[in-house]
Amino acid sequence: MSPEPFLGDVAHTPVRHHILSVLVENKAGVLARIAGLFARRGFNIYSLAVAPAESHARFSRVTIVVDAESAPLEQIMGQLDKLVNVVEINDLAPVDAVERELLLATIETDVANRTSLLDTLANAGAAIIDVDPGAVTVMLAGTPSACDALERALEEFARVELHRTGRVALPRLGRAATA
Amino acid sequence: MQLTGAQALIKSLEQEGVDTIFGLPGGAILPVYDPLIDSSIRHILVRHEQGAGHMAEGYALATGRPGVAMVTSGPGATNIVTPIGNAHMDSTPLVVITGQVATGSIGTDAFQECDITGITMGITKHNFLIQSAQEIPRAVAAAFHLATTGRPGPVLIDVPKDVTQSMMEWWYPVTIDEYDLPGYRPEVPLDDRAVAAAVALINEAERPVLYVGGGTLKSRAAKELLAFAERTAMPVVTTLMARGAFPDSHPQHLGMPGMHGMYSAVTAIQRCDLLISLGARFDDRVTGKIAAFAPDAKIIHVDIDRAEFNKVRQVDVALQSNVAVALTALDAGGAMPRNLDVWWKTIRGWQEAFPLVYDEPASDGLLRPQHVIEAIAAKAAPGTIVAAGVGQHQMWASQFWKFEEPGTWVNSGGAGTMGFGVPAAIGAKVGRPDRTVWCIDGDGCFQMTAQELTTARSEGIPIKVAILNNAYLGMVRQWQEMFYEERYSEVYLSADLPDYVKWAEAMGCVGLRARTLQEMHDAIDQANAINDVPVVIDFRTDAAEKVFPMVASGASNDDIMVHPSQRSAQ
Ligand SMILES: Cc1ncc(C[n+]2csc(CCOP(=O)(O)OP(=O)(O)O)c2C)c(N)n1
Ligand SMILES: [Mg+2]
């Protein structure tokens, strides 16, 4: 489950990455079943995000970015579909999806770097959400490529910590998702 | 009506029509063993939980109904992991109930606690950890539904002790909606376009082969297969998992394909222009080197499990369906290959040149294992069920027994589990008490689970066991002889230790020994005359015998090795 960063913007995301939006029953052990399946079949996961599904407390939505080269997408979806707790799988090709990801980072600040840091944040559209005399915590909710760009830009600063959530996605309007 | 969880569990099993449970009690499952005394369900007390699992498998394979096993937590549960894995590989419907420590103790390393749902996640179709007594009926109903529909398989229900001890208000789900399985859709409507595409491929074919797998038996499609095969005149091969799906006596049957398959079955697949897979999964023991498998063939793949399509071999037409339904649709669609006379002439040539052979039985010296199997088969009542262990004897049993109907071959295919034979034969006999049940076993396999003959004797289950005693882990010895320059490493067992006759007698069975042809015939006749207790025959067979034909592991099926006496013809 190494969150290998995506390079390039959405249009240039390699085709081998696919987003599976998976509706699952909200039962104990469901994540273990999914993770176990991927592990034992040798399918690679790039990122995985889980949250209660919109309408029902009964279901959760798992957004899995898979490496469609470790196994054919058809095989990954067919095996996933056999998990009894998996209710629905939507496969989103990167070009058919709008994707967003959240990045949080804590950066050491001092008088010398403050201006350039503020510039970097402003350029990226990132916000400061926590401050103390020696550090700030910043946030960006954006496309995976925007998060990539900010992550690279922050390399010139002393980073205390940086976390990314992995992406969530919805079908691009006007395009049908393939069930 | 107020019941304890334990009573509700037993009553739920009764609702599902369960007539037999194979099991062994212990602390965590104790509450459930109490109401069992008052139930109509027969419980068979095994001597090792692995035996319970394989018995449940044998019962399921012989009857087509799900097998049920019940064991306690911790070591009881881990002892049944091998049969669960075996059933998973062979898509055998099982419901396994395990006791668990009380809900409040889960996660505390309590006495005999183990995470059996975690352990079996990858080798069950699904499993449940029950949280309250009220849930028991739903879980049991769902477990049977899951085990027996779609692609069948094992389902495990883990029941904590406090759950079976607490009270519930009795109810039982009547509709599938009440099973609460929103993600489970075992059947999909047949895709008419795929049927039409399959018919078009069949109608162009000049060298088709029907590749029949275990899914055909699971689909109960033997009748449809016979009708379809006869109408289209296509050659048929049946995999190790499908023996009995098509009569061996039928002139269109080429026998078993694969590593130890018939030359004509293996070669017909290699040369065919259309391979129609009916509930088979392109297992490596069938395909050999996959890149060289059936190189000229278009593939029609019928399977209820869509994850099988393109998993191993790219298909031309995928038909997601039960095999019986698919065959009926192909029939209705007018599937009819071209004239197959030339194809059959070629196949008949292979059959004549490379029949199944073994060396003449020597009048003195050790018995030929193949000859022993033929002798048992010749003297067996029609409809006899054969169970096997895993090894050379299993391959010879599949090759030399003539199977005529479904449910007569009870075997461990995908997992190749040594020790399967004896308990599986017991389970088969429990499910089909009207049938004679022979277990063709190896001396190595027999030693793994033989203690279940005590179970068989005490429960009155008169199976017959033929040990093909070659004093070796014979299949491994064969590989060491052929591929490791006859460097035999840890494969010798001894023909006399243990003394199988005395061991059989100690377990209350009749024990016989056969060293010569005359003794062989006498022992088989004697065994056939005994119908009240289990019989074990120690047949002393020649360790030098090897299973042929053989495709070496990872080799192309084109490089099939025939019996030495046939090499010049190749
Ligand atoms: C539980 C298990 N352990 C090991 C093996 C590997 N194995 C396959 S066949 C075989 C030899 C079986 O010996 P025996 O039962 O005497 O049968 P034979 O081949 O001699 O007929 C072994 C060790 C296995 N299949 N299953
Ligand atoms: Mg042996």
CA distance A127 to chain B (A): 41
Q: What is the pLDDT of residue A175?
A: 63
Within 8 A by CB and 6+ apart from B433, the residues are none
**B-chain residues within 8 Å CB-CB of A32?**
118, 121
Q: How would you classify residue B112: left for phi > 0, otherwise alpha for psi between -120 and 50, otherwise beta?
A: left
Q: Write out pLDDT tens, residues B529-559.
A: 999 999 999 999 999 999 999 999 999 999 9
Q: What is A17-97's CATH superfamily?
A: ACT domain (3.30.70.260)
Looking at the predicted structure, is the pLDDT value of residue B322 above 50?
yes
- Which atom belonging to ligand 1 lies closest to the Cα atom of B473? 13
**pTM for the structure as a whole:** 0.95
Atom of ligand 1 nearest to the CA of B419: 1
Protein residue with its CA nearest to atom 23 in ligand 1: B473
Cross-chain residue pair B307–A78, CB shorter than 8 Å: yes
Mean pLDDT confidence for B29-39: 98
B292 in Cβ contact with B223 (< 8 Å) = no
> Of all protein residues, whose CA lies closest to atom 3 belonging to ligand 1?
B418
- Tell me the percentage of chain B whose pLDDT exceeds 90: 98
| A88–B183 CB contact, under 8 Å | yes
Separation in Å, CA of A88 to nearest CA in chain B: 7
Whether the per-residue pLDDT at A14 is higher than 60: the answer is no
Q: What is the mean pLDDT of residues B379-400?
A: 98
H helical segments located in A42-113 = 73-81
Closest residue in chain B to residue A85, using alpha carbons only: B183
Contacts of B318 (CB under 8 A, 6+ apart): B194, B301, B303, B306, B309, B310
The mean pLDDT value for B95-119 works out to 98
Q: Cα(B88) to centroid of ligand 2, in Å?
A: 26
What is the per-residue burial (b if ≥16 Cβ within 10 Å, else e) of B49-80? bbbbbbbbbbbbbbbbbbbbbbbbbbebbbbb
CATH ID of B192-353, from 3.40.250.10, 3.40.50.1220, 1.10.8.60, 3.30.1330.10: 3.40.50.1220
Min distance B309 CA to chain A CA atoms (Å): 8
Res B170 pLDDT > 90: yes
Mean pLDDT along residues B174-178: 94
What is the C-alpha separation between A22 and A6, in angstroms, rounded?
21
Q: Which residues line ligand 1 (CB under 6 A)?
A: B 389-393, 416-418, 442-445, 468, 470, 472-476
In the predicted model, what is the mean pLDDT of residues B358-384? Answer: 91
Average pLDDT over chain B, rounded to an integer: 97
3-state secondary structure B401-453: CCCCCCCCEECCCCCCCCCCHHHHHHHHHHHCCCCCEEEEEEHHHHHHHCCHH
pLDDT of residue B360: 83
Instruction: Say which CATH superfamily domain A98-169 falls into.
Output: ACT-like. Chain A, domain 2 (3.30.70.1150)
Q: Whose CA is nearest to atom 8 of ligand 1?
A: B391
Torsion of CA B511, B514, B520, B525, to 10 degrees: -20
Orientation of helix B49-63 relative to helix B81-89, angle to 10°: 30
| B2-179 and B369-540 share one fold | yes
Model pLDDT, residue B503: 98
- Residue A67 banded pLDDT, cuts 50, 70, 90: confident
What phi and psi, each to the nearest 5 degrees, are found at residue B223? -65, -45
Supply the DSSP string of B131-200, one letter for each residue: --GGGHHHHHHHHHHHHHSSS--EEEEEEEHHHHHSEEE-----SGGGG--TT--------HHHHHHHHH
Measured in degrees and rounded to the nearest 5, phi and psi for residue B397 equal -60, -45
The tokens for B500 are: 């199988």
Instruction: Kindly indicate the confidence band of residue B364, based on its pLDDT and cuts at 50, 70 and 90.
Output: low
Q: Which atom of ligand 1 is nearest to the CA of B443?
A: 16
Q: Which residue of B has its CA nearest to A38?
A: B122
CA of B356 to the centre of ligand 1 (A): 23
Name the residue with the closest Cα to ligand 1, atom 4.
B418
- What SS3 state is found at A14? coil
Q: What value does the mean pLDDT of chain A take?
A: 87
**Would you name the residues of B annotated as active-site residues?**
49, 111-112, 161, 475
Distance B477 CA to ligand 1 centre (A): 10
Looking at residues B21-42, what average pLDDT do you find?
98
Q: Per-residue pLDDT for A1 more than 50?
A: no
Taking 50 as the threshold, does the pLDDT of residue B25 lie above it?
Answer: yes
Q: For the segment B130-146, what is each residue's pLDDT rounded down to a tens digit? A: 999 999 999 999 999 99
3-state secondary structure B37-82: CCCCCEEEECCCHHHHHHHHHHHHHHHCCCEEEEECCCHHHHHCHH
Using a CB–CB cut-off of 8 Å, the residues of A that contact B are 24-25, 28-29, 32-33, 36-37, 40, 58, 72, 74-75, 78-79, 81-88
| DSSP symbol at B350 | H
Name chain B contacts of A75, Cβ cutoff 8 Å: 307, 310-311
Q: In sequence order, which residues have a C-beta less than 8 Å from that of residue A135 and are 6 or more positions away?
A: A106, A107, A108, A109, A160
Lookup: tokens for B138: 């739903």
A97-108 vs A159-164, strand pairing mode? antiparallel
pLDDT band at A55 (very low <50, low <70, confident <90, very high): confident
Determine the average pLDDT of the residues in B295-306: 98
Model confidence band, residue B569 (pLDDT cutoffs 50, 70, 90): confident
Contact across the interface for B305 and A82, Cβ inside 8 Å:
yes
pLDDT above 80 (res B475): yes
- From ligand 2's centre to the CA of B543, what distance in Å? 8
Task: Spell out which residues of chain A touch residue B103, defining contact as CB-CB under 8 Å.
Answer: none
In this structure, what are the phi and psi dihedrals at residue B90, rounded to the nearest 5 degrees? -105, 10
Q: Please give, rounded to a whole number of angstroms, the shortest distance from the CA of A70 to a CA of chain B.
A: 13
Domain-wise residue ranges, chain B: 2-179, 192-353, 369-540
From the list B265, B271, B288, the residue with the least C-alpha distance to B398 is B265
Q: How far is CA B337 from the centre of its chain?
A: 32
pLDDT at B270: 98
Identify the CA nearest to B106 among candidates B136, B141, B130. Answer: B130
Residue of A nearest to B155 (CA): A84
For the segment(s) B2-179, the CATH number from 3.40.50.10950, 3.30.70.990, 2.30.180.10, 3.40.50.970 is 3.40.50.970
Residue B340 predicted with pLDDT over 50: yes
pLDDT tens digits along B215-271: 999 999 999 999 999 999 999 999 999 999 999 999 999 999 999 999 999 999 999
Neighbours of B569 (CB within 10 A): 9
Q: How many A×B Cβ pairs under 8 Å?
A: 46
Helix, strand and coil percent figures for chain A, each rounded to 5: 30, 40, 30
| 8 A C-beta contact, residue B331 and residue B227 | yes
Q: Per-residue pLDDT for B326 more than 90?
A: yes
Q: Are A79 and A41 spatial neighbours (Cβ–Cβ below 8 Å)?
A: yes
pLDDT at residue B404 is higher than 70: yes
Q: Residues of CATH 3.30.70.260 domain(s) within chain A? A: 17-97
- Which of chain A's residues have a Cβ under 8 Å away from the Cβ of B117? 29
CB B372 within 8 A of CB B541: yes
Is residue A95 pLDDT above 90, yes or no?
A: no
Ligand showing the shortest atom-to-Cα distance for residue B391: 1
With the C-alpha atoms ordered B290, B293, B298, B300, is the resulting torsion angle positive or negative?
negative
**What is the Cα B333 distance to its own chain's centre?**
33
Domain at B369-540, CATH from 3.90.550.10, 3.30.70.270, 3.30.70.3000, 3.40.50.970? 3.40.50.970
Q: How many CA atoms lie within 13 A of B417 on its CB side?
A: 29
**Facing B121 at nearest CB: one of A25, A33, A82:** A33
Q: Which residues of B83-92 are buried (b: 16+ CB within 10 A; e: fewer)?
A: bbbbbbbbbb
pLDDT, position A117: 95
Least-confidence region, from A32-41, A44-53, B67-76 = A44-53
Q: Where residue A11 falls among pLDDT bands split at 50, 70, 90?
A: very low
**Does the pLDDT of residue B4 top 90, yes or no?**
yes
Q: Is the pLDDT of residue A12 over 70?
A: no
Residue B189 confidence (pLDDT) above 90: yes
Q: Which of B464, B492, B497 is nearest to B476 (CA)?
A: B492
Say what the pLDDT of residue A71 is: 84
User: Ligand 2 centre and the CA of B476: distance in Å?
Assistant: 9
pLDDT category, A3, cuts 50, 70, 90? very low
Q: Give the pair of three-digit tokens for residue B212.
A: 């029949």
